[in-house]
Chains A and B, each alone.
Chain A
Amino acid sequence: MNETPLYDRPEIYFAAAAFLLAVGIFGLIRRRTLIGMLISGELIFSAATLNVMAFNRFRAPDPAVGQIFVLFIMGLAAAEVGIALSIIIAVYRNYRSVKTKELSELNG
């Protein structure tokens, strides 16, 4: 419809980010170990990062702000992974398993 090439249009980046988000949510439902669920969470983080980057490139009045926010998102993701993995280790120490089926002590 217009002559701008595909890589210079924001829609395609949004679609890719939405696909990554969908895959991440699917993995959160489908994976059966805590590690697998955490990896799916990382995919969701990447989707958010790509989305912010695309908005930053095509919509932001100040072009560097979005990149700084992506930097903050990466810091948050690193902190989150560290905490979550140590919680997983603590869970494994108590239950000898990280399968979600067997962690049912709080199951009502």
Chain B
Amino acid sequence: MQDILFYIFASLTLVFGFFVIANPFSRNPVTSAMFLVLTIISLAGLFVLLHAFFLAVVQVLVYAGAVIVLFLFVIMLLDLKAEEQRKLRTFAVIGGVISVGAILAIFLQSLASSPLHADELPLLEGGTAQLGKLLFTQYLLPFEIVSVLLLVAMVGVVLLSGKEAK
């Protein structure tokens, strides 16, 4: 059961992730953003398989909910049309294929040679209780810093997109 779910979510993540960038059917930025939603949701499925239940929910809420709405809002506001395709040059394609193949070879080699398999998996529950306790005791300072950062970002957004005072 878990096996099948993993295959479904992983392949959906990869396929949708590719369609975000290079969609063969449409070059509309709205389609791109919608495929980003699907990528995020299937990534949340992978998080569930990694026993991070709370983060899966947060991923769907924050990304698929808030961030994508922001994206779509700006796309509508700017009235973006489908962007034209960049021309491919054969020299660039050949160079790209060579460098990507080299990096891929290094990557696969290091994956195969490193002892990555876990001996015994720690029993962990990504529940809210454990995360909340850690967040408010051991990681209180980073948590507060992140909230201050969000406040700074909010002020910055208001300043940047507000009416310009000459």
Contacts and interface: CB of A to CB of B under 8 A. Distances in A.
Interface of A: 2, 4-16, 18-20, 22-24, 26-27, 30-33, 35-36, 38-40, 42-43, 46, 49-50, 53-54, 56-59, 63-65, 67-68, 70-72, 74-83, 85-90, 92, 98-99
Interface string B8-28: 001001100110111000000
A56 to B, nearest CB: 8
Contacts of B84: 32
A63 to B, nearest CB: 3
A90 B159 CA distance: 10
A57 B149 CA distance: 28
B154 interface: yes
B160 interface: yes
Contact of A23 (B17, B70, B161): B17
A36 to B, nearest CB: 6
B14 A2 contact: no
Nearest to A54: B50
B78 interface: yes
B111 A11 contact: yes
Given A31-B83, A86-B161, A7 B63 contact: no
A19 B74 contact: no
Contact of A9 (B13, B100, B117): B117
Contacts of B139: 68
Given A82-B70, A90-B160, A76 B13 contact: no
Nearest to B59: A74
B36 A43 contact: yes
Contacts of A7: 2-3, 5-6, 49
A7 B47 CA distance: 11
B131 A35 contact: no
Interface string B139-158: 10011001101101110110
Contacts of B7: 6
Given A6-B6, A7-B49, A39-B29, 20 more contacts: A8-B118, A10-B116, A14-B111, A16-B13, A19-B14, A23-B21, A30-B22, A31-B21, A32-B83, A39-B33, A46-B43, A49-B43, A50-B46, A53-B50, A57-B50, A64-B134, A67-B126, A77-B67, A82-B157, A83-B160
A98 B78 contact: yes
Given A13-B50, A54-B50, A83-B156, A46 B55 contact: no
